[in-house]
Structure 1
């Protein structure tokens, strides 16, 4: 079974591209969603997070206090690095368990915004980078995330690995730039991955 990663910065449309693969019957592992699940349900990770960021990391009811945790790591790169170093290994283990349950498929997809930053590209055979120009990404995000300002969006983008670097490291690029149709690009890769010998 081939393991394919799909990544791209905020606003490039990687989730839309992933859904197209899903319609074709490809199992999709959404690393961001699963990370939230693991942070709630993995007892070892819960203890590690409380040790690192304090007992207020979880509410009295046992739920992750995302606002508290965000406040602890925002504008503190070393704390964010610590958070990621605790969470990513557990998500990696979760992915491996999930992937084992889909061994009958020709290939699976792992969608992760921080594929290269988290080193999770090491768990996949090839990576697709979804690309969109900066101006288009900002326009999409202002429409989608009405609570964010253009300055907020640019700050998030500035903290992520550059699109140029992601495209350099990826084996495949899907252009979601409103100039090229996405579906033919997805279908071409689907055909290629479905026939691949691992």
Structure 2
């Protein structure tokens, strides 16, 4: 079994690429979804978040107060790293468990999709890495429409992610998302063939 880390900045299209890889037969571990699940369900993670960011991090009904937490995390230097330091070790534990299950079940390609793959050290948990990059204007337009946020808010989130130039340098494979959806599907298939050696 091969493990592939797929990353890319906000709005780059990495989740779309992972969907295309799933069509080819890959199994995808979505690190960001796992992080959200942990922040909601894991007692140790919840306690650490409350200690770091205050009781307002959770609503009275015990659901995560995402708006408050985003304001806290993105409003002050070093706080993103603090939250990541709480959540990421648990995400990696979950990925290792997913890796064992996938190997036992004969999965040929397990993908670890993560926005902060390199920043969090996730590249050390996979065999090969790929970065999805796209023109900044396209990324901003896509995210503002998807999340109903301002372009300034999108740029603020981008500041907490590696520049695309660095992603290009660090990743083993780079997918340029600068064309049509069919172009991206073809590039995703080529990535699948490259890392698995099969079509």
Structures share fold, TM-score greater than 0.5: yes
Per-residue deviation at 1:170? 0.1
| Native 8 Å contact 1:106 1:193 kept in 2 | no
- Note the residue ranges of structure 1 that are not aligned, 5 or more in a row: none
- Superposed CA RMSD: 1.8
C-alpha distance after superposition, 1:159-184 (max 9, x if no partner) = 32100001100000111101782222
- Equivalent residue for 2:32? 32
| Native 8 Å contact 2:13 2:177 kept in 1 | yes
Q: TM-score, normalised by structure 1?
A: 0.90
- Equivalent residue for 1:155? 156
| Cα distance, 1:53–1:140 mapped onto 2, change above 3 Å | closer
User: Is residue 112 of structure 1 aligned with residue 80 of structure 2?
Assistant: no
Per-residue deviation at 1:158? 2.6
- Equivalent residue for 1:17? 17
Give aligned pairs, total. 195
Deviates more, 1:52-61 or 1:84-93: 52-61
Q: Please give the secondary structure, in 2, of the residue aligned with 1:160.
A: coil
- Note the residue ranges of structure 2 that are not aligned, 5 or more in a row: none
| Cα distance, 1:68–1:149 mapped onto 2, change above 3 Å | closer
Per-residue deviation at 1:47? 1.6
Q: Please give the secondary structure, in 2, of the residue aligned with 1:173.
A: strand
